[in-house]
Structure 1
Amino acid sequence: MRMLMLGGSGFVGRATVAEGVRRGWTVAVFNRGRHGAPPDGVRHLTGDRTTADGLAALADGEWDVVVDTWDGAPRDALAGARMLAGRVGHYVYVSSGSVYAPPVPAGVTEDDAVVDADPAAADGDYPTLKRGSERAVQEVFGDRSLLARAGLILGPGEDIGRLPWWLTRVARGGDVLAPGPADLPVQYVDVRDLAVFLLDAGAAGLAGPVNVVDRPGHTTMGGLLAAAVTATGADASLRWVAPERLRDAGVSPWSELPVWLPPGHEYRWMQQIDVSRAYAAGFTGRPVSDTVTDTWEWLRRVGEVPARAGRPAREPVGLDPTREAALLAEFGTGDPAR
């Protein structure tokens, strides 16, 4: 198989390129070349789709599968798709569950309403950028395009730092503020499982929108944090605190306590996504222990969470240590919350 990766220097892109190489496919990447060289044996096509002549490197060549992670202006996705029209077998666009129109129902399916977006737009917020790019790709490739709507993505190489924050915090040991309930279902996708699905589905010609994430309850907050304790080998004690107490203390889900979306939160649907279509198409997810252990091994090797390729500096993730200590003192022994 001949694969073209549009991007390839960020989290999902690197994992997808690595999977293509592992399969023995002929792989090329198209990007600006500002974030390191691709793996040995991967052809590098240099360009910037946001500039006037930035697609020149794509003027020649044919590929069986193209994978695109673009989250910029839809008009640039449209230009790239038009450049490749007639020379690509199947176009796989890595989109997001963020394209669903609020209020998003629990158990959201691919047939639920999406935000209104223009495929020729020059700007917008994240949901409209992703949805506009979906429309751009479909406008050109039609039923030869897959819209892979990913959920929360974790695993080695994560450049936001959600799971790395938990691992780093647990590794410090001592009492760890753990947001309850411990049996709260958590839904995510390991980046390597996402990459496998993208290439399998692309090669098979799967078309249309597909929610790509593990089943709801693939693990729980308790399972995730217990795996972090095991992976790090730390002398850490999880101090479970009920969500109501955290809410009353002004603790922010997702940002201050990554991954955690408590019952009743407006974005709780993000961990209750229907994935029947993906599993029917062959998606499988590895155990949480593998994701957590492999992420810890990667984090120890690289030393810190890398900068996000081609994107603004990320906002800080996780509780400040001083604030966590104050909260632990306030909550006393904590609640089992099980």
Structure 2
Amino acid sequence: MKVLFIGGTGNISSASSRLAIKKGIDLYHLNRGSSNVQIKGVKTLHGDIKKPESLTVLKKHNWDVVVNWIAFTPEDIEKDISLFKGKTRHYIFISSASCYQTPLNYPIITESTPLCNNLWDYSQNKIRCEDLLQQTYREEGFPITIVRPSLTYDTVIPIAIGGFNEYTTADRILKGKEIIVHGDGTSLWTVTHSDDFAKGFVGLLGLTQAIGHSFHITSDEVLSWNMIYRILAESLGQEAKIVHIASDFICTVEPSFTGTLLADKAESVIFDNTKIKTFVPDFKATIPFSLGIKRTLKWLDENPESKFINPESTEKIERVLNKYHSIYE
């Protein structure tokens, strides 16, 4: 099976690339050649998906599957449809679980949960991408599958504030500084290791039955945010100095946190993975957060240049903490 990943060396996609190679898939990456990540067995095509003039390398290829890991707007999707219509048997779009109804009317999420998130431009654009792809599938038979990851990690720290591509909150924990946990920390969430995500995702590649369908792929482990932050702190060998602050308060003081909180992580969600397990029977998430985060922290220790402590985030965290303490203490 000949597969093209647009991207393929990121936090989520690297694990899927490694597993695809392990399963004998003839995998190509299309990228600009700027990534330092090298995955043995992958064939690299150099080009920028946002610059059509650089994509002449694609003209001689037809694909069994094309996966775009880095499409975010309907304009990106329009370019892909133009490029790959008649050139691939299966096209997979990486959407986001943040597209699901926000706030939820029912806390258990299935693929039939409505898509509606008016609080975050990122999610709205992903929904528009999905709508365009579904329309093109219905009207023209373009062979699509939509995949919605949710807070998936490998080389990033999956927390709500001061994490992901930052080491800001981890550094605060190591230095014994206060950290913010939104709400009272008892709302529920799921974090998924990229190696687990890959088991479900690679199983969808070229799966004819999956055409026209949407899937989320997550762990079945459900943790409170208190537990997520405490496990992180324990893995760093420290005790977290948690300050619980209401999400509404945080976003009033720092509106830039609205996307990650009010539009995504402020309330409990539980993902029902029945559908992906039905289509990919071998899929089972086996990496608990207590193990996965240790692997992430080990990788960060081995790649200290990735321990980015964001001064802007630090200022925002301090501003929220100072405002909170000035009112309530």
SS at match of 2:90: strand
Does the Cα contact within 8 Å between 1:70 and 1:94 map onto a contact in 2? yes
- Identify if the C-alpha distance between structure 1 residues 17 and 183 changes in structure 2 by more than 3 Å, giving closer, same or farther: same
CA 1:43–1:249: 2 relative to 1, 3 Å? closer
Seen in structure 2, the aligned counterparts of structure 1 residues 319 and 152 have a Cα distance that, compared at 3 Å, is: farther
The reply to whether residue 210 of structure 1 matches residue 212 of structure 2 is no
Unpaired runs of 5+ residues, structure 1, are 117-123, 308-313
Per-residue CA deviations over 1:98-146 (Å, capped at 9, x if unaligned) read: 4346555343443344369xxxxxxx94334323333444425848421
- Which residue of the partner structure matches residue 278 of structure 1? 276
Q: How does 1:91-102 map to 2 (within 5 A)?
A: 91-100=91-100
Secondary structure of 1:3's counterpart equals strand
**Secondary structure of the residue that 1:89 maps to in structure 2?**
coil
Task: Please give the secondary structure, in 2, of the residue aligned with 1:297.
Answer: helix
Which of 181, 186, 194 aligns to 2:184? It is 181
- State the TM-score, normalized to the length of structure 1: 0.73
Rounded to whole Å, the distance in 1 between the matches of 2:76 and 2:251 is: 44
Q: What is the TM-score normalised by the length of structure 2?
A: 0.74
CA drift of 1:199 comes to 1.0
What residue number does 2:47 align with? Answer: 47
**How many Å separate the matches in 1 of 2:2 and 2:314?**
41
Aligned residues: 312
The root-mean-square deviation of aligned C-alpha atoms, in Å, is 4.1
Q: CA, structure 1 residues 67+149, in 2 after alignment: closer, same or farther (shift >3 Å)?
A: same
What is the Cα deviation at residue 240 of structure 1?
Answer: 4.2
Is the 8 Å Cα contact of residues 255 and 317 (structure 1) preserved in structure 2?
A: no
1:162 CA drift (Å): 1.8
| Aligned equivalents of 2:257, 2:317: Cα separation in 1 | 14
2:146–2:215 CA contact under 8 A, matched in 1: yes
How big is each residue's C-alpha offset from its partner over 1:192-241, in whole Å with a ceiling of 9 and x where there is no partner? 322332211224342311223334x622223222322332223x3x3444
* Whole-Å separation in 2 of the counterparts to 1:223 and 1:280: 30
Q: Tell me, what secondary structure is at the counterpart of 2:205?
A: helix
Partner of 1:120: none
Report the counterpart of residue 170 of structure 1 in structure 2: 173
Q: Is the 8 A contact 2:4 2:27 kept in 1?
A: yes
Decide whether the 8 Å contact of 1:29 with 1:42 is kept in 2. yes
How far the C-alpha of 1:56 sits from its partner, in A, is 1.8
- The residue identity in structure 1 corresponding to 2:144 is S
Aligned-residue offset at 1:6: 0.9
CA–CA distance in structure 2, aligned partners of residues 129 and 221 of structure 1? 27
The structure whose residues are more often helix, as a share, is 2
1:127 alignment counterpart:
123
Give the SS at the match of 1:162. Answer: coil
Unaligned 5+ residue runs, structure 2? none
C-alpha distance in 2 between matches for 1:322 and 1:125: 26
Provide closer, same or farther for how the CA distance between residues 227 and 267 of structure 1 changes in structure 2, counting only shifts above 3 A: closer
Q: Is the partner of 1:88 in helix, strand or coil?
A: coil
**Distance (whole Å) between structure 2 residues aligned to residue 64 and residue 197 of structure 1:** 18
- Quote how far apart the aligned CAs of 1:156 are: 1.9
Change in 2 beyond 3 A, CA 1:111/1:23: same
| Cα distance, 1:295 vs structure 2 | 1.1
SS at match of 2:53: coil
Matches of 2:158 and 2:180, distance apart in 1: 23
- Give the counterpart letter for 2:232 in structure 1: A
The equivalences for 1:20-39 within 5 A come to 20-36=20-36, 38-39=38-39
Of the candidates 195, 198, 222, which is equivalent to residue 198 of structure 2?
195
Could you tell me how far 1:320 is from its partner in structure 2?
5.6
Question: Quick one: structure 1 residues 255 and 192, their matched pair in 2 at CA, closer, same or farther if it must change by over 3 Å?
Answer: farther
For residues 203 and 306 of structure 1, what CA distance do their matches in structure 2 show? Answer: 37
Alpha-carbon distance, 1:94 to partner = 0.7
Amino acid aligned to 1:296: L
